[in-house]
A and B are shown apart, each in its own frame.
Chain A
Amino acid sequence: MKSRHDWVIWIGFAAGLVLTFGLIVLPVLNGVWLSMHSAESFIATPHWVGFANYIKLFGNAEFWRATLNGVVYALVSVVLQLVLGVGFALVLNKSFPFRGIIRGLSILPYLLPTVVVGVTFQWMTDGSFGVITALTRSLGLGDIPWFESPSAAMASVILVSVWLWTPFVTVSCLAGMQSIPQALYEAAKVDGASNWSQFWHVTLPQLMHILSVVVLLRAIWMFNKFDIIWLLTKGGPLGATQTLPVLAYNKAFNLFDVGGGAAVATLGFILLSGIVAIYFRLTSEDRGK
C-alpha cells in the first residue's frame, strides 16, 4: 500500500545503504586486489603475482599456527565470555539492594578503551611494581608467569579479553531474561523443578535466540581482534599469541610484505565467512522446522 512521500523514505534508505556499503566494500576490494600483488610498502608500486602470496602462505607453518591461535583464542574467549556472562546475568537478575550499582559496575569493563585496559593490566602484573605481583607473593603463590611462556601468554590475553567483553553477553542475557514470561517459571515451580532445572529448561531455551546471535558476533569480533593482543604481547612470545590479524599487520608493516599481509587478511575473511555461512545454514534449518 503505497502512500505519499514514500519516495523520501526510499531516498534515505538508498543513500544510507550506498554509504554503508561503499565505505566498506570498496576498501575490502582494494585489500583483495593488494593481496594479488607484491609490494614492499604502501607507497611502492605493486607487482602482479597472482596467487603466489596465497600459495606461499599455505606452505608456511607460521600461517597455520596463526590460524590455530586465532581459532583457539576466539573459541576459548567466547566460551568463557558465554559462561561468565550468563552466570553473571543470572545473579544480577535477582533482586538485592544496590542492584543498579552492581549492574553498572559489571558493565564497566566494556566501556574502557582497549589501550587503557592493556596498560592497566600490564601495570598490575608488572614484575617489580605490580599490585597483583605483590598480592600473589604475599599469598605465597610466588611470581605468576603472565607472559613468560607461550601458553601462559595466550592464557593472559584470553583472560584480559574475557574481562573486557563479558559484559556484552551479560547485558544481552539480562535483556533477554526480561522478556521471559514469569508464567513459565511459575509452571516449572509448580512441577517441583529445582533452580538448576528451571535454568536449564526455562531460562536457557528462551535465551537461545539471543545467545546464538551474541555468540556469532563475539566470535567474529574475537577472531578479528587486533589491538588488545598487539598491546599486550605483539604476538609473542615466540608467536604464541600471533593470530591472523596480528600476522597480517606484521607482514604489511614490519616485514615489507604488504601483499602477504593482505593475503592473510583475505584468508581470514574467507575462513570467517565460511563459518558464518554454516551458522546461517544451521539456524535457518532450525527455523524451518
Chain B
Amino acid sequence: MPDLTSDIYVFILAAFLGLEVIKRVSPLLHTPLMSLTNAISAISVVAAIELAGARHTTLSTVLGTLAVTAAFANVVGGFMITDRMLKMFKKRGPRP
C-alpha cells in the first residue's frame, strides 16, 4: 500500500494548513465559516456520483443515489446560505 504514506502526508499537511487558515477567520464570521466548510466537505458528492453512475450492483446504485442527494443538498444549500449570510455583513448600514 504505497499510497498510504502519501495520503497520510496529505492529511497532516491539510489539517495543519486548515488550522492556520481558520485561526485567522474573524469570530464575526464563524457561522458562515461553518456553512462554507460544510459545503466544501460535501465534496464527498464525487464519490457518491461514481457509485450512482457506475452500475455495480442495485445496492450500490441505491446507496449512491441517496448519498448524491444528501451531499448535493449540502453543496447547494451550503454555498447559497453562506452567500446569503455574507451579503448581510456591511461595514456601514444605510442611514435612515
B and A form one assembly: no
